[in-house]
Structure formats: structure tokens, C-alpha cells
Amino acid sequence: MDELFGIPLPLLFGQLLLGLINGAFYAMLSLGLAVIFGLLNVINFTHGAQFMMGAFAAWMLLNWFGVNYWFALILVPIIIGATGIVLEKLMISRLYKLDHLYGLLLTFGIGLVIEGVFRNEFGSSGLPYRIPPELSGAWDLGFMFMPVYRGWVVVFAAAVCLATWLVIEKTRLGANLRAATENPALVQAFGINVPRMVTLTYGAGVALAALGGVLAAPIYSVNPQMGSNLIIVVFAVVVIGGMGSILGSVITGFGLGIIEGLTKVFYPEASATVIFVIMIIVLLARPAGLFGRTA
């Protein structure tokens, strides 16, 4: 049997692979949201704008300073993460005593400002960013070309997700972090500077979004709207997975990427809505999300 529901198997396999690539972006973004939410109890609406800033920062580094993709991969998360730290210090930190909804509203507003400023500066038709020469080219799988860069995205994103998980679950820093999530006052009493940890965590979450942006720059058009289109889907991913677990959000991200990829083959018209439909089903069956703890 070399066909499944009328689709040649190799082609189906290729489509699964493509779905996995989109899943890599969902995973990285929802991971960043989960990390931030875990400690700050803020749902970071600026996340999409920060993803977009990551892509633009890579473009600026290349075109204005001649810094190539590989250095951008290291520099951009640091730069954008630093802007996140400033943002947290100046604004977000003022809201911790208030209802969490204010954090959402604030980050939403900041996102609007950032998107508007970039649109003013760079227009909206998008900027080109070339695939680095080391990763250009494609493997000929016979039935399709598989660009090397796409493979790189999946491997690299998976590695980043795994590393984040290891840091949080297996290191002393991560243990402090998890403890502070449970009971910040107690951890503070042990002499750990919780406010600083919160700031750095926000920076790290933002850095993950920016890293996603750098990865996306060579594939998608670098334009100011690229983040806001993605972020709502990522919110649905986060609701499906539940934000209680780091690993959960990663698995959900990759999984939904694959499901979306399959929808594109069998019923492309629904590929944008499928994730929202899954969200409704999950909410009806398991309101806390697949990996969430019931509040």
C-alpha cells in the first residue's frame, strides 16, 4: 500500500515533516509564554511583537552591520531579551499587585506600539532575508525537495526546547524558579532575590520569542504583522496544552503543528480553524488543558 486516503505515502510523510516545522514555532512561542506565565502570572501579549522584533533585529544586524545569521542567532535573543528586561523593570513590575488582567492589557498596548513603530519605519510589504549559505540547498527526496534550512529549524528548535526544560527541571536555578512559582515569599525568605529572578525570567521568555523570530526570518517575509497573525494561534495552543507544564507546552506545540499540516493536505480550507476547534473540544473534555493542573 503506497497510498493513504488517495495521498501517496511519501508525499504524506513530507507533509508531516512540514507540519513539524510549523509546530517548532508554536512550541518555541508557547514555551516562552509558559515560562513567563509560570513566574509572573502575566500572559505576555507582546510576545508576537517580540517575535517580529527578533526577525527585524536579524535583518538589521545583517544589512546595517554585516552581522551574519549565525551571530544573529546568539546576539538577537540577548538584545531583544534585554529590551524585555527593561520593559519588565519599567512597566510590568508595577502591576504585580493588581489583577492579572492588567498585565494582559499592558502587554497588548505595548504590542500595538511596537507594531505601529515598525510599520512606520519599514512599511508593510516586508523585507528579504536570505537563507545562510551553509544551510541553503535542499535534499531531493524524489517526490519533493526538502530544504536543508527547514530541517535545521526543527532540530534547532527541539534542542532549544529540550535545553529550556533541562534548565528548569534539572538545575539549581530551575529549582529556585519552580519554588518561587509556588511560593515567592518563602523563597525570598531564603535569601534569593525573587524580583531579579522574575525580571530575568521575563527576559528569557522574550529571548525565546526573539530566537523564534530569527529562525523565521529566512522562511517568512519579515514584516511588522508577522507576529500578530501567529500569536492568537499560539494562545489557542497554550489553552490546549495548559501552561502548568513546560514539556506539555512543547509537546502540544509540535503535535498541533502536525495536525495542522495534515489538515492542509486533506481539507486545506479548515487548516486555520482546526486548532481553534481542537481548543473547544479540549475545553469541553478537559477544561484545564491536556497538561494543566486543575486550579
**Residues within window 99-138 making contact with another protein, judged by CB under 8 A:** 99-106, 108-117, 119-128, 130-131, 138
Q: How far is the CB of 227 from another protein (least distance, A)?
A: 11
Q: Which stretch binds another protein (CB under 8 A): 93-101, 156-164, 178-186, 198-206?
A: 93-101
Write the CA distances from 225 to 56, 81, 128, integer angstroms: 11, 20, 15
Q: Where are the beta strands (DSSP E) in the chain?
A: 3-4, 7-8, 138-140, 145-147
Q: Which stretch binds another protein (CB under 8 A): 18-26, 70-78, 156-164, 245-253?
A: 18-26
Contacting another protein (CB under 8 A), which of 30, 50, 164, 223?
223
Measured from the CB atom, is 185 or 284 closer to another protein?
A: 284
Q: Name the grid cell of 7.
A: 495521498
Of residues 118, 136, 109, the one with CA closest to residue 54: 118
Measured from the CB atom, is 77 or 218 closer to another protein?
A: 218
Binders of another protein among residues 192 to 211 (CB under 8 A) are none
Q: How far is the CB of 15 from another protein (least distance, A)?
A: 6
Number of chain residues interacting with another protein (CB under 8 A)? 82
Measured from the CB atom, is 93 or 176 closer to another protein?
A: 93
In angstroms, the CA 247 to CA 231 distance is 20
Measured from the CB atom, is 2 or 121 closer to another protein?
A: 121
DSSP 97-129: TS-HHHHHHHHHHHHHHHHHHHHHHH-SS-B--
Q: How far is the CB of 3 from another protein (least distance, A)?
A: 12
Binders of another protein among residues 239 to 278 (CB under 8 A) are 239, 261, 264-265, 268-273, 276-277
Measured from the CB atom, is 146 or 192 closer to another protein?
A: 146
Binders of another protein among residues 160 to 179 (CB under 8 A) are none
Per-residue x/- marks for another protein, 51-90, CB under 8 A?
----------------------------------------
Provide the residue type at 133 as one letter: P
Write the CA distances from 184 to 154, 171, 206, 242, integer angstroms: 35, 18, 21, 21
Q: Name the grid cell of 253.
A: 506545540
Q: Is 236 in the site for another protein (CB under 8 A)?
A: yes
Whether 234 and 47 have beta carbons less than 8 Å apart is answered as yes
Helix axes 69-90, 194-216, angle to 10 degrees: 140
Whether 164 and 35 have beta carbons less than 8 Å apart is answered as yes
